[in-house]
Chains A and B, each alone.
Chain A
Amino acid sequence: MTSTVPADVASAYERIRRDALSRSEEAWDGKRPVIAVGTATCGRSAGALDTLDAFKDELAKQHTEANVLEVGCMGHCYAEPLVVISKPGYPPIAYGYVTPEIARRLVQDYILGDDFSPEFMLGALEDNELVPPITDQPRFSYERQIILQNVGHIDPHDVSQYIARGGYEALAKALQMEPEHVIDEVKAAGLRGRGGAGFPTGDKWATCQAARGRRKYVICNADEGDPGAFMDRAILESDPHSVIEGMAIAAHAVGARRGYIYVRAEYPLAVERVAQALKQARGLGLIGRHILGSDFSFDLDVFQGSGAFVCGEETALIASLEGRPGMPRHRPPFPAIDGLDHRPTAIDNVKTLAYVPRIITQGAGWFSGIGTEESTGTAVFALAGKVVNTGLTEVPMGTTLREVIFEVGGGIPKGKRFKAVQIGGPSGGCLPESALDLPVDFDSLREAGAMMGSGGMVVLDEDDCMVEMARYFLEFTQRESCGKCTMCRLGTKEMLEILDRITKGQGRIEDLDTLRQLAEDVKDGSLCGLGRTSPNPVLTTLKYFPDEYEAHIKEGRCPALMCQDLIAYYILPDKCERSCDACVGTCTVEAIYSNKKRIKVIDQSKCVKCNTCMEACPPQYNAIVKLSPPSEVPVTKDKK
């Protein structure tokens, strides 16, 4: 067992911290402006690397100096590429939608001049008298950042910036505590696993700690497979050390010497940044042999997943680590007792581990004071779909869905009407308007038929078909089912066939009862979370949106005008402008022609329903409509 000499650990950490502070001051020396460009995957896909180059190039051209940093994702994905400029004498200011052209202008006007360019600005990051702060926006009164507090503010490539903001202090503190006390602290904080199920983390660790066996493992589950979720990716890319520190504390608590971070194959940048962070942490003796001079040794590696959704399930993940197909097995025995290589293994989600250092430094009482009694702390959501402010947000547990979607998320774009919110991905459900005042926590969402899941939140508006939504998720789980359990393998297939039929207008009214029955059977007859929760999207849409199913079945009509087989595009002759050819020119399959009166007509046999004409038709004419059922299209006798 660990018998550390507390004073040594504390002074070893103090040395590292002093060093980090002086190195981080080199970057923020108070003389040169600092330009921090968000270059996580979301920023990159919006062109952040070009913006970064433009800054460097323009600075060189103007013969002026500034420190250009790459940081992670601040969560305001809607405004990418996002840049924060800290110029001495001014508060740090965030700028959104920074194209290379704007980057050049910012160098000329603000770095060289004094015009802080309010037209490109999102706001100042600190209270001040000069520049309106970003925190004036309503969303900031709802947000509370615990695990996102560093995200987007530090350079993930540089461990000293993490340490300068108090990083690894918790590890030093934990190493001076007995493992049992660390576990007690996590228990007292009420921390529940953020992977979806919400199992108390402290209990899991206690079981693992008490389990027999000299070799134990800790694993970080970063196999974030829910489509529509990207919280874990953002944390790994933007603040990798918080997860590494959490793992080291977990290892100390349960008595493990070895760990793995299991990252999805689809996240190459996260893999790269974590690997680099590990190297730096190892270099400083923060992981490896005799951490901070103590008796505690712990090291970890990154393991890349290979693209199987089911590997997010802990026993499947372990099978995958062992070189086998990722198939779940029966629990108990739980991995905490019988895990990787049959050794006791503590598996935790990325976010769960990122909370741990904060809990150790700031105390269990502080953490349990945030959120609700049963669900303490915060929830991190990835907001996507039909919502204005897409991106990441962290709010205290107990915040209502309405507040998250309308206050933080800014509501529905283009003046459309809210229809539903899909929470928890393929394991979750679609909740309607009437559920919007539900507090966000583990238990309320489950009662409503959805699930916290890992935190993906996709907002749907009037143009989204609920039957198609259910079909989409079932198609996903069906394809990802590993095939071990009969009900999951065949039951979901049968359900999918029924839904396919309904979205094609060939459903029968008795299908709905069959769907409900099959859903129950699949829930009962499956071993792991994938199968047990896969009917949720179907059940919630059947419960909250029965009219939509009936419209598909009885009338062959898709009310949201989404199901391809149930719609047709039609050009309204009285609205079509004779001199305009916009739709003809853009049609990708040459299905539109002009009739004798030069009114445009769609050849329905050629149309592939790609929506291009609808977007091409100038708004002053607005002549193209979608009709459902397709038989609504008037028969024309026009010849070309």
Chain B
Amino acid sequence: MAITDAEREDIHEETKKALRRHGRSRKHLVPVLQDVQRRLGYIPEEAMTQVAEHLGIPEMDVYGVVTFYNQFRLNPPGKHSVRVCLGTACHMKGGYITLDSWKRRLGIGPKETTPDREFDLDTVACVGCCTMAPVTIVDEEVHGSVTPTKVDGILLAYKLQNEKNGEMN
């Protein structure tokens, strides 16, 4: 996804702020990256370069850590994040059907963002809410027993919310 100059400036500033809050050794790499992602929602290439320079380690090592851990994202996030749980209980209760529904409705796969940057989709291994399987987490909210019709319902709620906000503006 292309980024604008304004975004590039923002990335630089936010990464700088994140770096300032941590020590300057390799040991702080993961917390620094978590901080960057908290601020920007993902880890842009520019930020990786900046972090590598600051900590005095090869860019390759930063990239290696970012891609090793599932938590780090390489794409800018959508306005809303959709996380489909594929833990054991969710899988056996039809989590794969739920994921199919999200893919079909959003037109994207896991770790991708819709072109309008409205939603991003990903899977999680288990959020520990096994008793409400199959589970999907939209933003912070945990939805239980998510059937294909419930996927449609959740999407409709966000659409209506958007329209309402649109009217107000």
Residues of A participating in the B interface, judged by any CB pair closer than 8 Å: 41-42, 44-46, 77-78, 80, 224-230, 233-234, 265-267, 303-309, 320-326, 382, 384-386, 390-391, 422, 425, 456, 458, 460, 464, 469, 472-473, 476, 482, 564, 586, 588-589, 608-612, 615
Contact = CB atoms under 8 A, between A and B. Distances in A.
A45 B132 contact: yes
B88 A77 contact: no
A586 B149 contact: yes
B127 interface: yes
Contact of B65 (A234, A324, A390): A324
B126 A308 contact: no
Contacts of B88: 227-228, 384-385, 422, 425, 456, 458, 472-473
12 contacts: A42-B128, A227-B90, A229-B126, A265-B34, A266-B127, A267-B128, A303-B31, A304-B31, A385-B93, A482-B68, A611-B94, A612-B147
A228 B90 CA distance: 8
Contacts of B125: 225, 227, 266, 307, 309, 476
A581 to B, nearest CB: 15
A458 B126 contact: no
B152 interface: yes
Given A266-B126, A306-B72, 15 more contacts: A41-B128, A224-B128, A226-B126, A227-B86, A227-B91, A229-B126, A233-B128, A267-B128, A306-B70, A307-B71, A309-B125, A390-B130, A458-B89, A458-B92, A588-B101
A226 B130 CA distance: 12
B30 interface: yes
B131 A391 contact: yes
Contact of A45 (B30, B33, B144): B144
A286 to B, nearest CB: 25
Contacts of A228: 87-89, 126, 130
B133 interface: yes
A80 B97 contact: no
Interface residues of B: mostly helix, strand, loop or mixed?
helix
Contact of B92 (A41, A234, A305, A385): A385
A608 B148 CA distance: 11
Contact of A323 (B29, B89, B152): B29
A595 B40 CA distance: 54
A266 B140 CA distance: 12
Given A41-B129, A588-B101, A384 B26 contact: no
Given A45-B144, A323-B26, A308 B97 contact: no
B135 interface: yes
Interface of B: 25-31, 33-34, 64-65, 68-72, 86-94, 96-97, 100-101, 104, 124-133, 135, 142, 144, 147-149, 152
Given A306-B34, A385-B89, A266 B130 contact: no
B87 to A, nearest CB: 4
Given A226-B126, A472-B88, A323 B28 contact: yes
Contact of A460 (B27, B30, B92, B148): B92
B1 to A, nearest CB: 22
B36 to A, nearest CB: 12
Nearest to B66: A306
Nearest to B142: A45
Contacts of A608: 100, 104
Given A229-B126, A476-B125, A307 B92 contact: no
B25 to A, nearest CB: 8
Listed residue (B27, B128, B129) with the most chain A CB atoms within 10 angstroms of its CB: B128
B23 to A, nearest CB: 10
Nearest to B137: A45
B55 to A, nearest CB: 8
Contact of A44 (B25, B28, B100, B142): B142
Contacts of A45: 129, 132, 135, 142, 144
A362 B142 CA distance: 40
Contacts of A323: 25-30, 65
Contacts of A469: 92
B26 A322 contact: yes
A477 to B, nearest CB: 11
Nearest 8 pairs between A and B by C-beta? A230-B128, A45-B142, A306-B69, A384-B130, A227-B87, A307-B70, A228-B88, A307-B71
B101 A610 contact: yes
Nearest to B70: A307
A306 B30 contact: yes
B130 A610 contact: no
A306 B92 CA distance: 25
A385 B71 CA distance: 26
A588 B87 CA distance: 24
Contacts of B31: 303-304
Contacts of A306: 30, 33-34, 69-72
A361 to B, nearest CB: 29
Contact of A42 (B92, B129, B149): B129
B18 to A, nearest CB: 14
B134 to A, nearest CB: 11
A611 B147 CA distance: 9
Contacts of B94: 611
Contact of B131 (A304, A320, A325, A390): A390
Given A227-B126, A320-B30, A482-B68, A612 B91 contact: no
A44 B129 CA distance: 10
Contacts of B28: 323
Which residue among A265, A266, A425 has the maximum number of chain B CB atoms within 10 Å of its CB?
A266
Contacts of A472: 88, 91
B97 A611 contact: yes
Task: Name the residue in B89, B97, B131 with the highest tally of chain A Cβ atoms < 10 Å from its Cβ.
Answer: B131
A561 to B, nearest CB: 12
